[in-house]
Structure 1
Amino acid sequence: LGERLVRLEHPAVARHALHEPVGNGPYRLVESVPGDRWVFEANEAFPEELGGRPYLDRYVYRVIADDATQASALRAGEVDLLTRASPANLATFRADTTIDLIRYDDRDYDFIAWNPRRPVFAEAAVRRALTMAIDRPGIVSAVLEGQGAVAVGPVGPWHWAYDSTDVPLPHAPDSARSLLAAAGWADSDGDGVRDRDGRPFRFTMYVTPRDKWRRVATIVQSNLRDVGVDMRIEVREVPSLQPLVTSPDRRFDAFMLTWIPDEMLDDRAMWSCDQLAHPVHFASYCNPDLDAVLDSLLVVTDPETYAGLVDRYNEILAADQPYTFLFYPSHLAAVRVVLRGVEMDARGNWLSVADWWLEPTAR
């Protein structure tokens, strides 16, 4: 591949890669419709020494935002696999003999990105207050039905160097109120919303239409209201949200997203001071101490030193809270029993895709 295609650190190239990806695996991308589907066909030339041609001639990755619609499509045989079944549908799937459930842990975490270019989010103490106001254990219980854990930072239990003794910021509304008051945010007019210098603590949270995000956002909205912060919820489809959060001027107050970190923890595009214009540098966050940690993670070979750097990575972001790290979800894939060979783990949803095959009756 030429340099034009592989130098993904350049923001313009990164945007190109999102829409016109290049690969050399067992399948070829033959069609992509933003926000709707990706269509792949078997790569007839895939080397035998790497496994040869995959079993399936074609597979279609569909984008279905609504959890109920996903469940209906699976049960009707319109799709054969949900990589991440909604906890709300688990009871239905467990009762359906045509569906298998595969439990796996991935590298992902869910977060709220705060935009520090907005004055209300400019201070780390205020961002910590927001995190402590949010009942993340309650969200894991109510929305994930216990299928996950409250997140400490970007590196979760999937990574060998994750320190299981690390404790996330607690749900502590009284402490949140004290931090907000110390930062000068007080309800001066008795309307229930804190203000400072005549400006109310009010902002808009963008979420996508998926049921999970609506439910999380509603809980967050209630939690923040209890400490005097007025959060408005605005639901946007991914195609309309993406330019707002990836553009260099970051046209958002806050938004919720799921992120899957790089296996090698090369997260410089998201956090480094010299990458502020990168599409995924959502938080416009710059900390030279973190830059040094991220650079060192790519060159250190001693396991003990490396583990210390990973711990420091989580520690810095836990202190500054450019994101509120919500949770590390555990996942259940829902698979029609006629689709065989499916395996998933932290290495990816498509780990065994070349070995998937359909029962003859389903072809």
Structure 2
Amino acid sequence: MKKTAAFLAGAALCALPFAAQAERGADGALKILYWQAASTLNPYLSGMGKDVDASALILEPLARFDPEGNLVPMLAAEIPTRENGGISADLTSITWKLRDGVRWSDGTPVTAQDVVFTWKYCTAEGAGCAAANVFDGVADVVAADDTTVQITFAEPTPYPYLPFVSSTVPILQEKQFADCMGPGMAACSAQNFAPIGTGPYVVKTFHPNDVAVFTMNPAFREADLPHFSDVSIKGGGDAMAAARAVFETGEADYAWNLQLAPDVFEQLASEGRGRPVVAFGSMVEYLFLNLTDPNPALGDKRSTIAGGPNSKLDDIRVREAMSLAVDRELIAEVLYGAQGKPTCNVVPAPAQYVSSANDGCLTPDVEKAKALLEEAGWSDSDGDGIRDKDGQPLQIEFLTSTSGVRQDEQALLKQAWKDIGIQVDLRNVSGSVFFGGDAGNPDTRQKFYADVEMYTDNSKGLDQEAFLGKWTCAAIPSPQTQWQGSNMPRFCAPEYDALAARLHATDGIEARAEIARQMNDMLVQSYAVIPLVHRGNVSAAAATLDGVRMNSWDSELWDVAHWSRNAQ
């Protein structure tokens, strides 16, 4: 284990220089593998990494976060601050200036009106926009002139860097998306599969849940970028196959999200054809417990507030018992090694946001878990090892994406819950489906047609307001939102929403961090969200690939325009 830790630490510290190129596109084709295939190239329909990253080659926000979590301008000329006059003295507005001469890939100019349109697009009634919570508190967005955008907030907003910041909230071209407002948002396949953008690439071909092929944007503002003429992002398969394609066969230049057992990862990386690309940010492997009833008999009300509570998980004592039974240290050590560490927090980083109030979860307590279930009325009345109550067995369905590590993780959790008298039925579906945004598919994480589901999530940037806003009442997916939304467990607490409102209005890092810790604690102590492992971002780059910098705070492909081929 120590050998693996040292190996990955060395990989994380390796900073390869950008290679100078005489001519844009001179390095030919770049082959990327995402074993969870992109379902759309419009991040407003998904928000998941596989879709956001593919979209990031085309679409750009006003600003992004760099690998250290710092804001860097993209379509904006600079980052507005109080010092430069970009943020009003009363904190009720922020003014962004666009870069000079930025054009869409079709050659037309990017204007402030496109920014205004993007706000209206995401917040239109019935839109089901995945980034809707980013615009909470925005009273208006106006174009002061062709290159000046003013965002006005309904109240003083000390942290105004949510709208149009990060790869999840890029600018769309009004001309292309004007007819895709409201409920028709998801139906605009031509636009969602081939958006016109400002990034280094344009869409050449896109086959949802399979492959996306990009070629250079002739209107890209950097005359000597990108270095690669074409990029393909192939989806499907699994993390093992993706890793082998870089480390063993050399068939790919980059492989994303290598959630592999530590000994397997180290063995593959030792082949010498590639190197790990590693960084720790705020990524956590979570369990989400469905507080609503997933019974198929409910029809359209299934897994919705209207369908009523989940009779097996509605009692907080049952949820707490499930958390107490889990050995997080075992899961982290056996399945993640140096790539993960056990955590009790929804927010594990940055340090000033981390709570110490929940550290007791690191020590499992099976006897206390059993006692809580007894208190809640769940006992083994017939001696078959499975608890029951009012004739109903304590039987849950546990859903996640298809992945070797995740299925091993499911098995460990199933055994832990079996030990306290809970029967667990395991199910897994393709990551392309599970993390997809198809409102018609029953197997997405948003539909949550199960009792428990498991996946990884993380914040964009160091500030935690947008991330913690994922669990407000308004963020619950439902048929009314085209099943978009980020509050998978359907957790809804007025006290939590009040804290979210306070965080939005609070100035100063320490004061904001204190509220964020309170929100973290409320989520953790509801046991609707159960953190398991604080994961590192781990991918692989071919030895011939230069310029790759892992970014834990934004899109992993945030600076793909700077990637280049060396002479090896």
Q: TM-score, normalised by structure 2?
A: 0.58
Q: Select 1:100's aligned residue among 246, 253, 275.
A: 275
Q: Judging changes above 3 Å, is the alpha-carbon distance between structure 1 residues 65 and 171 closer, same or farther for their aligned structure 2 residues?
A: farther
Which letter does structure 2 place at the counterpart of 1:253? D
Does 2:562 align with 1:355? yes
Paired position in structure 1 for 2:255 = 82
Is 1:55 matched up with 2:261? no
Q: 2:431 aligns with which of 210, 220, 238?
A: 238
Q: Structure 1: which amino acid aligns with 2:342?
A: V
CA contact (8 A) 1:136 1:326 kept: yes
Deviation string 1:168-195 (CA, Å, 9 cap, x unpaired) is 5231111111111111111111000011
SS at match of 1:144: helix
Q: Answer yes or no: is the 8 Å Cα contact 1:43–1:53 preserved in 2.
A: no
One-letter identity of the residue aligned with 1:35:
N
User: Is the Cα–Cα contact under 8 Å of residues 272 and 290 in structure 1 kept in the other structure?
Assistant: yes
| Contact map agreement 2:325 2:416 (CA 8 A) in 1 | yes
Q: Using the alignment, how far apart are the partners of 2:211 and 2:345 within structure 1? A: 31
Q: Give the Å deviation of 1:126.
A: 1.3
Equivalent residue in structure 2 for 1:256, among 454, 475, 480:
454
Indicate which of 484, 487, 498 corresponds to 1:292.
498
Change over 3 Å in CA distance of 1:91–1:275 after alignment to 2 = closer
Q: Distance in 2 between matches of 1:107 and 1:16?
A: 30
- In structure 1, the partner of 2:509 is 303
Q: Which structure has the greater CA radius of gyration?
A: 2
d(CA) in 2 for partners of 1:18 and 1:116? 33
1:111 is matched with 286
- Report the alpha carbon displacement of residue 98 of structure 1 after superposing the two structures with TM: 1.7
Structure 1 residue 240: Cα displacement? 4.6
Q: Give CA-to-partner distance per residue, 1:313-336, whole Å, 9 cap, x none.
A: 111011101122111112332211
Alignment CA distance shift 1:168-1:25 (3 Å)? farther
Secondary structure, in 3 states, of the residue corresponding to 1:120? coil
> In structure 2, what is the equivalent of residue 331 of structure 1?
537
Greater RCO (Cα-Cα under 8 Å, separation 6 or more): 1
Give runs of aligned pairs for residues 264-283 of structure 1, distance below 5 A: 264-265=463-464, 266-267=466-467, 270-276=470-476, 277=478, 278-283=484-489
Q: Given that residues 281 and 349 in structure 2 are in contact (C-alpha distance below 8 angstroms), is that contact kept between their aligned partners in structure 1?
A: no
Q: Deviations over 1:94-124 (max 9, x none)?
A: 3212211232113321112111112111122
After superposition, the C-alpha distances for 1:180-232 in whole angstroms (9 at most, x for unaligned) are: 11111111110000111111000111122211110100000111101100001
2: CA distance, partners of 1:83 / 1:54: 20
Cα contact 1:204–1:232 (8 A) shared by 2 = yes
Are 1:245 and 1:282, in contact at CA under 8 Å, matched by a contact in 2? no
AA aligned opposite 1:61: I
- Gaps in structure 2 of 5+ consecutive residues: 1-113, 131-184, 293-309, 479-483
- How far the C-alpha of 1:92 sits from its partner, in A, is 1.9
Please state how far the C-alpha of 1:135 moved relative to its aligned partner: 1.3
Quote the residue 1:66 is aligned against: 238
Structure 1 residues 172 and 287: CA distance shift in structure 2, 3 A: same
Alpha-carbon distance in 2 for matches of 1:110, 1:166: 16
Q: CA deviation at 1:360?
A: 5.1
Measured in 1, the distance between the counterparts of 2:468 and 2:127 equals 12
**Percent identical residues:** 22
Q: Is the 8 A contact 1:41 1:58 kept in 2?
A: yes
Q: What does 1:149-164 align with in structure 2 at a 5 Å threshold? A: 149-158=341-350, 160-163=352-355
The one-letter code sitting in structure 1 at the alignment partner of 2:451 is D
Measure how far apart 1:9 and its partner are. 9.2
Opposite residue 218 of structure 2, the aligned amino acid is E
> Equivalent of 1:137, from 329, 336, 359?
329
Counterpart residue identity of residue 128, structure 2? A
Structure 1: gaps of 5 or more residues: none
Most deviating of 16-25 and 321-330: 16-25
CA distance in 1, matches of 2:217, 2:351: 32
Following superposition, the deviation at residue 54 of structure 1 comes to: 1.7
Deviations 1:281-312 (A, max 9, x none): 21111011111222333332212211101111
Matched residues in 2 for 1:202 and 1:211: separation? Answer: 24
**In the alignment, residue 36 of structure 1 is paired with which amino acid?**
D
Q: CA deviation at 1:249?
A: 6.3
1:91 equivalent in alignment to 2:266: yes
Q: Distance in 2 between matches of 1:114 and 1:215?
A: 19
- Structure 2 CA distance for aligned equivalents of residues 268 and 207 of structure 1: 22
The structure 2 residue matched to 1:226, chosen from 392, 409, 419, is: 419
> For the residues of structure 2 that align with 1:218 and 1:71, how far apart are their CA atoms?
23
Instruction: Name the CA distance, whole Å, in 1 between partners of 2:514 and 2:495.
Output: 14
Choose from 34, 38, 41 the match for 2:212.
Answer: 38
SS at match of 1:143: helix
Q: Following TM superposition, by how much is the alpha carbon of 1:72 offset from its aligned partner in structure 2, in angstroms?
A: 2.5
* Equivalent residue letter for 2:471: W
Q: Which amino acid aligns with 2:207?
A: V
The aligned amino acid for 1:89 is V
Q: Secondary structure at the match of 1:189?
A: coil
For residue 165 of structure 1, report the CA deviation from its aligned partner: 7.3
Aligned to 2:367: 174
Contact kept, 8 Å, 1:35 with 1:238, in 2: the verdict is: no
1:344 to partner: Cα distance: 0.9
* Aligned partner letter, 1:46: F
Work out the CA distance in 2 between the residues paired with 1:329 and 1:44.
Answer: 38
| Cα distance in 1 between the residues matched to 2:443 and 2:503 | 27
SS state at 2:454 partner: strand
Equivalent position to 2:519, from 301, 305, 313: 313
Deviations 1:6-31 (A, max 9, x none): 43896533374998275533333444
Question: Does the aligned pair in 1 maintain the 2:546–2:563 contact within 8 Å?
Answer: yes
Q: What is the match of residue 5 of structure 1?
A: 121
Equivalent-residue separation in structure 1 for 2:445 and 2:277 (angstroms): 37
- Asked if 1 retains the 8 angstrom alpha-carbon contact of 2:227 and 2:563, the reply is yes
Does structure 2 conserve the Cα–Cα contact (< 8 Å) formed by 1:105 and 1:345? Answer: no
